[in-house]
Amino acid sequence: MRILTLLVFILTFIGCNKNVQKIADTKSPTDRIEILLSKMTIEEKIGQMVQYNGFWDSTGPAPSEGDSKKKYEHLRTGQVGSVLNVSGVENVRNMQKVVVEESRLGIPLIFGLDVIHGHKTLSPIPLAESASWDLELIEASARMAAKEATARGINWTFAPMVDISRDARWGRVMEGAGEDVFLGTAIARARVRGFQGNDLSATNTLAATAKHFAAYGFAESGRDYNTADIGTSTLYNVVLPPFKACVEEGICTFMNSFNVLNGIPATGDKFLQRELLKGKWNFDGFIVSDWGSANEMIDHGYAKDLKHAAELAANAGSDMDMESYAYIKHLKEVVEEGKIPMELIDDSVRRILKIKEKLGLFDDPYKYCDIDREKTQVFNQENKDEVLEIAKKSIVLLKNENNILPIKKDQQNILVIGELAADKTSPLGSWRIGSDDNTATSVLEGIDNLGIDYHFSNGVKLVEGNVDFINEVKINESDKTGFEEAITNAASADLVIMVLGEHGFQSGEGRSRTKLGFPGLQQELLEQIAEVNKNIILVNMSGRPLVLTWADENIPAIVQAWQLGTRSGDAIASVLFGEQNPCGKLPMSFPRSVGQVPIYYNKLNTGRPGPNELVFWSHYIDESNDPLYPFGYGLSYTDFTYSNVNIQITDTLKHEIKVNVDLKNNGDVDGREVAQLYIRDKVASVSRPIKELKGFQLADLKAGESTTLTFKLSESELGFYDNNGNFIFESGEFEIFVGGSSDTKMSKTIEL
């Protein structure tokens, strides 16, 4: 009898080794997954729910990592479902081979990486791209990123970050689409389409992740990882819609977040993950935790130890544990103690296997491992040209007194000041894991490439020492080397271009700031240069809105150049010298002072909106309520005028309306306008904002050309979420605004 059992076991074992392939050949996707699931031990099931950080040189475990031998063993015993931060065809192939050939069931790994704004060829940081409002280009940029990353073995990106944020102190605003839910939702959809394409089983598309679920962008006082405490109206109307849109676009995965939301750490939040996302929204992909976030529930005072954290996270619906070791160490015990039903483990595993199946990994686990593709499709000219297009359209012209811009090419004596002008790394911004330092075109190179004569004065050092992802950025606060030279040269220049701002790693994760001015000595230098030469063009390279109030009062031209990626310098030069007419519009308000933050256009009116002569209205006694530059704002080298707003009710019962408006390019150069439509729901059962973006269109108009734009609105734009999370429409008066910025005053009111 014993021998018989052993024989059966051996036969099953031999059969299973090739099982994944065989099952893939014969069955429907659901059958394959169910068959596989039925063969898995509890250890193997939990293994699928484990994600390890990279510990791999191309031939095996990296010696530097203490626990890499143990991790390697877990690969061989089928106790790892995914790894992150392992990339490159050779690495991926070799690691996949261990799992496929040596583990009992041979279930392939899924390889995740933060492919946030390109991989080796970098697009502008996501916030900058959002300033283009160009959904086609944004989708194409994600497409390009997917092509490059998959050519390097990656099949899962931890993007898009769809966290809405109103707080420029938070360093991660660079990774999102800004402050507005309507724009943010449209961009979230475009990015998912770009990454995942129409066919997930193709070799050049990858699984995307909507992150961070939820409310991470509302970290109190902009301090990263801090608590979020928001009301239901903000949760339903501002935070959640971009996530829901990602589900509607068929996104494969979600990532939960580090923060506590209303007292519950997101990783352990059953309401968000199980009830809302997997329940009400019917999300059929899987949820990965953020890095170590299960473990962090101990520090949050929510889990008493790692075992308790495993129980809370898995019960709440967090399917895969990124680097907490909570599941690998404790989940089996938790299941055996009956603290989590086996069905929930099966549900998580099923979800993970389903994504692997969709990616086609069961048919070919090495499908992303084509060495020729890696050689030809990464950092090639086509990709570099593509990112230039979006970089040009992401630049926002903030001020242009007396049309000092564009610079005339025959201008004799142009001086460029600022270390960032020569910097080939900072323009790559934060989140650039696959790219190499010094691969962006600098502003100086961009100007050179246009064949312009200039001289360069280093001026001010922004940072000291080597800066990399790990080291903290050191701000130079005292070394004025170069000041004198810069001031002397500036005094005799026709025009000064000052390239100031933030270093590439002064924004991003963990890079919160309390001051939003130029770091270090840059402001001082700017003021001293302005004393000797008024003809200054300020180029601000930053990963977030900065406070530019002094500059706005004293400098004739300001260009918001963000961090624009691989072709940054070319894009900036093309705007400065008029090859590209700037057309970006701000996706986030620029404050006048830090004290105004969080500042956003779609605020509630308050009971005392003022202004009046008394002191008792909602305002500051030392600063205006208005931002320096509002959401949606951006100038052009031409002028656009809006006229003849006309509203027709096209369906009275369904509350559908059509808004027509005439738009004219009044200048003598061609240009693009981002035409925007806002609404105000005058009276509602939950107070509504004074303005909400509900439509936008890109209009490319030749000099002198006019067009009529038509916006269509229905209940989905005119309605809102009540405090129970139900989407409702309420009849009444709506004011409809049209214009080129959120501060537009052009409006008409209708009754619906």
Q: CA–CA separation, 294 vs 107, rounded Å?
A: 25
Q: CA–CA separation, 564 vs 541, rounded Å?
A: 8
Q: Which helix (H) or strand (E) holds 194?
A: helix 181-196
208 versus 487: smaller Cβ distance to ligand NOJ: 208
Is 296 a binding residue for ligand NOJ by CB under 6 A? The answer is: no
Q: Which of 134, 321, 423, 509 binds ligand NOJ (CB under 6 A)?
A: 509
Q: CA–CA separation, 572 vs 704, rounded Å?
A: 26
Q: Which of residues 250-269 bind ligand NOJ (CB under 6 A)?
A: none
Instruction: DSSP for 523-557, please give it.
Output: HHHHHHHHHH-S-EEEEEE-SS----HHHHHH-SE
Q: Please report how close the Cβ of residue 159 comes to ligand NOJ at its closest, in angstroms.
A: 8
Is 290 a binding residue for ligand NOJ by CB under 6 A? The answer is: yes
Closest alpha carbon to 374 in 91, 622, 77, 182: 91
Is 114 a binding residue for ligand NOJ by CB under 6 A? The answer is: yes
Q: Which of residues 179-238 bind ligand NOJ (CB under 6 A)?
A: 211
Q: Which of residues 71-100 bind ligand NOJ (CB under 6 A)?
A: 84
211 versus 399: smaller Cβ distance to ligand NOJ: 211
- The footprint of ligand NOJ on this chain (CB under 6 A) covers a number of residues equal to 7
134 versus 323: smaller Cβ distance to ligand NOJ: 323
Q: Are 377 and 451 in contact (CB under 8 A)?
A: no
Q: CA–CA separation, 697 vs 642, rounded Å?
A: 13
**Any idea which residue has 């009062």 for tokens?**
553
Q: Which of 111, 291, 368, 631 binds ligand NOJ (CB under 6 A)?
A: 291
Q: Please report how close the Cβ of residue 209 comes to ligand NOJ at its closest, in angstroms.
A: 7
114 versus 319: smaller Cβ distance to ligand NOJ: 114
290 versus 311: smaller Cβ distance to ligand NOJ: 290
Q: What is the separation of C-alpha 692 from the centre of its chain, rounded to a whole number of angstroms?
A: 21
Other Cβ atoms closer than 10 A to 223: 16
Q: CA–CA separation, 265 vs 267, rounded Å?
A: 6
**Any idea which residue has 């895969």 for tokens?**
320
Q: CA–CA separation, 500 vs 483, rounded Å?
A: 14
Q: Is 375 exposed, middle or buried (0-12, 13-18, 19+ CB in 10 A)?
A: exposed
Q: Please report how close the Cβ of residue 128 comes to ligand NOJ at its closest, in angstroms.
A: 18
72 versus 216: smaller Cβ distance to ligand NOJ: 216
205 versus 289: smaller Cβ distance to ligand NOJ: 289
Q: Please report how close the Cβ of residue 184 comes to ligand NOJ at its closest, in angstroms.
A: 16
Q: Please report how close the Cβ of residue 701 comes to ligand NOJ at its closest, in angstroms.
A: 39
Q: Who contacts 463 (Cβ-Cβ below 8 Å, separation ≥6)?
A: 419, 473, 474, 475, 476, 503, 520
Binding mask 7-26 for ligand NOJ (x = CB under 6 A): --------------------
Q: Please report how close the Cβ of residue 557 comes to ligand NOJ at its closest, in angstroms.
A: 36
Q: Are 713 and 750 in contact (CB under 8 A)?
A: no
CB closest to ligand NOJ, residue no: 158
Q: Please report how close the Cβ of residue 160 comes to ligand NOJ at its closest, in angstroms.
A: 11
**Any idea which residue has 């256009």 for tokens?**
601
268 versus 627: smaller Cβ distance to ligand NOJ: 268
What Å distances lie between residue 190 and 148, 179, 576, CA to CA? 18, 17, 29
Q: Please report how close the Cβ of residue 403 comes to ligand NOJ at its closest, in angstroms.
A: 42
Q: Please report how close the Cβ of residue 196 comes to ligand NOJ at its closest, in angstroms.
A: 17
Q: Please report how close the Cβ of residue 211 comes to ligand NOJ at its closest, in angstroms.
A: 5
71 versus 211: smaller Cβ distance to ligand NOJ: 211
Which residue among 167, 290, 321, 681 is the active-site one? 290
Closest alpha carbon to 181 in 588, 468, 726, 530: 588
**290 has catalytic annotation:** yes
Pairing of strands 321-322, 50-53: parallel
Q: CA–CA separation, 502 vs 394, rounded Å?
A: 17
Q: CA–CA separation, 114 vs 433, rounded Å?
A: 7
Binding mask 157-186 for ligand NOJ (x = CB under 6 A): -x----------------------------
Closest alpha carbon to 446 in 566, 598, 340, 537: 566
374 versus 509: smaller Cβ distance to ligand NOJ: 509
Look at the chain and count its residues.
752
Q: Which residues bind ligand NOJ (CB under 6 A)?
A: 84, 114, 158, 211, 290-291, 509
Q: Which residues have a catalytic role annotated? A: 290
